Every structure is written in C-alpha cells, then in structure tokens.
Amino acid sequence: MLLDHDPAHAFMPYPGVELPHATHAPLTGLTFAAKDLFDVAGYPTSGGNPHVLALSGIKTRTAPTVQRLLDAGARLVGKTITDELAFSMNGINAHFGAPRNGAAPERISGGSSSGSASAVSNDLVDFALGTDTGGSVRAPASHCGLIGLRPTHARISLEACMDLCPSYDTCGFFARDIDTFERVGAVLLGEDRAPLASPRLLLPSDGWGLLEADVADAFAPALARVEALFGPFRATEMAPTGFDRHYWAFRYVQGREAWQTDGALIEQHGLVLGPGVRERFAWSKAVTDEQFEDAWGARREVTAHLTELLGSDGVMVLPTMPDIAPRLDTSEADLEKYRNDSIKLLCLAGLSGFPQLSLPMVTRHGAPLGLSLLGPAGSDRALIAMARRILEAA
C-alpha cells in the first residue's frame, strides 16, 4: 500500500509496490485502487480469505484491466479489501474487517467491493475498480454516495481476476464525480455499440412498489429532475411474471456457478468462511440440476422481455437499493433479509447482462441512496452521458 495511512481500513495491509504508469496520458494525475480479486504484479491476491492469501504467492503478472489503467496514466495506490470470495453484499469481512463508509460511517459500506467504495468515498483515491456479480458495485455505490457502474457483461475484461459466477461477473468502477467517472469510462469501455440518441424513459411500477412509502417519497425530486431533462416516464413492469421467479432464477444460477468455481477450493483446503458467506456456499452446494435448468430457462425469459422492452432507446429508471445502508450493528439475520430484498431490484441487470449505472441522487436520514439507469446492452457510455446531464442539473 502506497498511502501514508489508511484511516478508512479500506486497503489490504500489503507492502506497497510502485508500478510503472504512463505520463501525459488520458488518466495522468489520477490515483486508483483495485479490489483484491485482481492480480497485480508484486502483490498477492487474497479474495478476502486468509487461506487463499496463504496459497496465492506474489503475482508476476498484472490483470489486463489494471494494466490498461496504468497505461492510460493512472497511478495504483494499492489493493482493497473484498468481502470473502466476493459472495456478500454487506462489506463486513470476518477476517480482514469492515471498510469505513465515507458517507455514513455508522452504516455498512456494502460489498463485496467494500474496500474500493470505501477508498473512494473517504477521498483516498480518485477512482477504484470493483466487480459486480449480484450488486457488488451498485450496492456500495448507493450506500457510499458514489457513481458506480455495472457494465454490459464481458465489456470490461476480467482476465486474471478471481471468478465467482462467470455468467454474471462484471468489472465495474466507482468515482465521486462525473468528470473522473467519464474519463475512466472512456478508457475502459471504448465506444458504445448502442448509443442512445434520444432515450425513452421507463418507470417500473412493480419495482418502485417494493419500497416503503417514505423511501419512495424521498426519490420524488430526483425523478422530477430526470423527467424534466428527458421527457415523461412511461409506466412498465420489470418483473411481469413476478419477483419470485426473477429472484430464484438469479439465486440458483449464482449458487450453482459459485460452487463450481469455489467448491473444490473450499473443501480441499478446509477454508474457514465467515457468517453469511459460509451459509451461502452450503446452500449453493445443494442446488440441483433441475433447479439450475429451470432457472436458466427463466433467465432466457427475463432477457427476452427486457430486450423487447428497452429496444434500442429505452432506459429503465429504478431505485438501486430498497433503502439506505443498514447500521453496522444490524444483526446477521437482518442483513441477510436486506440482501434478499435487494436482489429483487438488483437481479435484472445480472440476469440479462445489461448495464446499470447508480447515481448519488437521494439523501435519507443523512445517508445516501442511489437512483439507477438501466439501458440496452452496449449503452454504457450513453448512460454515463445521461448521468452527466442529470447530475449537472442539480
């Protein structure tokens, strides 16, 4: 770690390695951090687990996405804490601790990209890399008052990055301001294959209906701002066959792939897993072929529905999370309930592979809450351009 100190407990306590980076390049002058799933030459990769750290050794190769940022002039400060094996949304690692939420220190940062969101929200770096499988960029972005993108699936390389669920895993990133976010997006995303010349706004009544009334009311000014810029909302549904089908399709596919990815590692080395993560992997091991096949069929249905609904110009506007971040002293049972409630909002992008961008638009009880834009596959930079207009209209 190349910081003098880490007041947010955002970084893994590795000795700092100064990596060469370009000068006079698009990201020159910016600092960044990488979630400790990405291999970086001179560092180990822990995946948030001490057994995996012990097995890692020092890497000799840097993940292509990290290298791309170095080649664009950004300076890597260090590697950030991740929730264990990236299978959590709480931001509380039983082995390495809980990174501090810079926007609401008494509340969880959200995971599994907890350290990356913490480093940015505490102003320790300009931007940070995370990964998003089930919400691991979008959730901490909402909790920590950041801009955060889950990109179109496979748009940003995850080579030399630890997998969790390959058909859901994406590489996302955080920043505090839209200027930095847009600069990083230009480097990592390239050009859109589905630009949105004139976005058509869709408001899913069933998604908004998942919120408590006082939470939904807090979004009213933000929604009015979006509508004033881009025209009236058109009412729609995000889950016409019901949220339970979406939820279980997501869970069964994620569970089967997570166990295929990490099950042998867990059993061969007797990994000691923290609360919540341990139970999720045990549940994942028990997913049957029938459950997985039915879930994959439901996933195809969801993707077909969303493809038709969005077309080439539709943007769905929805809450990123069902509420502000839970407090740090929330029980494990209540955190698990919050996670499961959140999946109903978060799973649409994962099931379809479409991009979703969370914006820091709302404050409730002094804590931030994100508003999301979900667009067609390949519209990532167009969503960022929409975000600029929205945020600058504040």
pLDDT digits (tens, 9 = 90+) for 38-53: 999 999 999 999 999 9
Map out the domains of the chain with their CATH numbers.
Answer: 31-189 (3.90.1300.10), 200-242+288-392 (3.90.1300.10)
What is the distance between the alpha carbons of residues 17 and 4, in angstroms, rounded to a whole number? 13
Give me the active site residues, please: 35, 112, 136
Sheet with 234-236, side-by-side order of all strands: 75-80, 31-35, 127-132, 170-175, 147-150, 356-364, 367-374, 314-319, 200-204, 234-236
The SS3 of residue 358 is strand
CA–CA separation, 387 and 250 (whole Å): 27
**pLDDT (average), residues 274-302:** 97
* Average per-residue pLDDT for the chain: 97
> What DSSP designation does 15 have?
P
Which residues pair with residue 202 across a beta bridge? Answer: 234, 316
CA distance to 22, 69, 126, 325, 378, per residue, from 26 (Å): 9, 9, 14, 34, 22
Do 23 and 52 touch, CB atoms closer than 8 A?
Answer: no
Residue 375 reports pLDDT greater than 90:
yes
In one letter, which amino acid is 124? L
CA distances from 176 to 19, 165, 359 (A): 24, 28, 10
pLDDT at 197: 81
Inter-axis angle of helices 243-269 and 277-285, to 10 degrees?
A: 100
The secondary structure of residue 16, as a DSSP letter, is P
At residue 4, the pLDDT reads 78
pLDDT higher than 90, residue 194 = no
Residue-wise pLDDT for 204-232, tens only, equals 999 999 999 999 999 999 999 999 999 99
pTM for the model stands at: 0.98
Q: What is the mean pLDDT of residues 353-370?
A: 98
148-164 confidence digits (pLDDT tens): 999 999 999 999 999 99
Q: Of 340, 328, 220, 321, which is closest to residue 280 (Cα–Cα)?
A: 340
User: Rounded to the nearest 5°, which phi and psi values hold at 34?
Assistant: -125, 135
